Chains A and B, each alone.
Chain A
């Protein structure tokens, strides 16, 4: 017999608003910046209350000065459309200095040509739509980032902050 009070489980919210969404954003490269910001802004436009929690490399997407890059290194699925073909890059070439910068320039040009919004614009739209942006305190500490490096309106929080949001969100995504 134990004297410890029986754990009755977490308090669940029986009435979760279906129009709520949270996204954990863990990646900070040019390509991976798109899924969270596209889904976050679109959900907000469709009337959902959206929270984005930025951790690890995702923090990169909150910087005032965005210098997003993509790398073809170790990314066999990255094939760029060039003259009617889809061209990938062998790792040995991807590893050379300047190749990441060139690939990033190429992808940005391609996006511009196809009418895809720059991340800066989607981020502004997210802020405008009152998407809640939370930066992970622990990873900020680890990478030595300060709130001053980030855009205005970013909140600071930890795992418990996110879990509280998640218990009140109908849709929870990890990207």
Chain B
């Protein structure tokens, strides 16, 4: 179970990423954020976002056009600094 859940269903690029960044900002290091999205572009974008920012992408799932991402906020990440 994630510490926080962010529902971005219906939103298109780049809003899921921008809203995820905002949510991560308020999260404590080591805590997790689950992002729910319907944007097929998010499949490539969330891993890229996590690789660049140093946040950890723990899980990535798709079910019936709903994409979920479990991200752990990392102290090493640029956005979490």
Contacts and interface: CB of A to CB of B under 8 A. Distances in A.
Nearest to B77: A47
A81 to B, nearest CB: 15
Contacts of A125: 18
Nearest to A47: B78
A46 B52 contact: yes
A38 B12 CA distance: 11
A42 B13 CA distance: 9
A121 to B, nearest CB: 8
Nearest to B10: A115
Interface string A24-54: 0000000000000010011001110000000
A120 to B, nearest CB: 13
B17 A47 contact: no
A interface SS class: loop
Given A19-B78, A41-B18, A125-B18, A46 B12 contact: no
Contact of B15 (A19, A46, A47, A117): A117
A41 B49 CA distance: 13
B12 A115 contact: yes
A3 to B, nearest CB: 50
A101 B76 CA distance: 48
A38 B10 CA distance: 17
B30 interface: no
B79 interface: yes
Interface in B44-80: 49, 52-53, 77-79
Contacts of B20: 45
B17 A42 contact: yes
Contacts of A47: 52-53, 77-79, 81
Given A42-B18, A115-B10, 5 more contacts: A114-B12, A115-B11, A116-B13, A117-B12, A117-B15
Interface of A: 19, 38, 41-42, 45-47, 114-117, 125
User: Lowest 4 CB-CB distances: which A-B pairs, in order?
Assistant: A47-B78, A45-B21, A115-B12, A42-B14
21 contacts: A38-B13, A38-B14, A42-B14, A45-B17, A45-B18, A45-B20, A45-B21, A45-B49, A46-B21, A46-B78, A46-B79, A47-B53, A47-B79, A47-B81, A114-B12, A115-B10, A115-B39, A116-B13, A117-B11, A117-B15, A125-B18
